[in-house]
Amino acid sequence: EIVLTQSPGTLSLSPGERATLSCRASQSVSSSYLAWYQQKPGQAPRLLIYDASSRAIGIPDRFSGSGSGTDFTLTISRLEPEDFAVYYCQQYGSSPLTFGGGTKVEI
């Protein structure tokens, strides 16, 4: 199975700053089949990005995804107060589908 390693584990930033989150796969993710989700405490995850770089409907353009092969990045260009949350990457290039361990973005 493909193991996804997210870094850093925690990112301490201020509103208005840029956040760069990394997701590294143990083997190549076929067709850039990688998604990113945001989860706030007590809530279900929310889809942000799919196919590595396509924004989901209703997601602000300050969120962007990039990468291919084994290295993927989620960038939040200017953090808003509501962006402080945990972010997970997920690959769907091969079964079983797997998630990274998450990156917490905190103030």
Interface with other proteins (CB under 8 A): 33, 35, 37, 44-47, 50-51, 56, 88, 90, 92, 95-102
Nearer to other proteins, 46 or 62 (CB): 46
Shortest reach from residue 37's CB to other proteins, in Å: 8
Nearer to other proteins, 16 or 58 (CB): 58
Say if residues 9 and 103 touch (Cβ distance below 8 Å). yes
* Pairing, β 71-76 against β 98-99: unpaired
Nearer to other proteins, 16 or 41 (CB): 41
Instruction: Please give the Cα distance from 20 to 76 (Å, whole number).
Output: 7
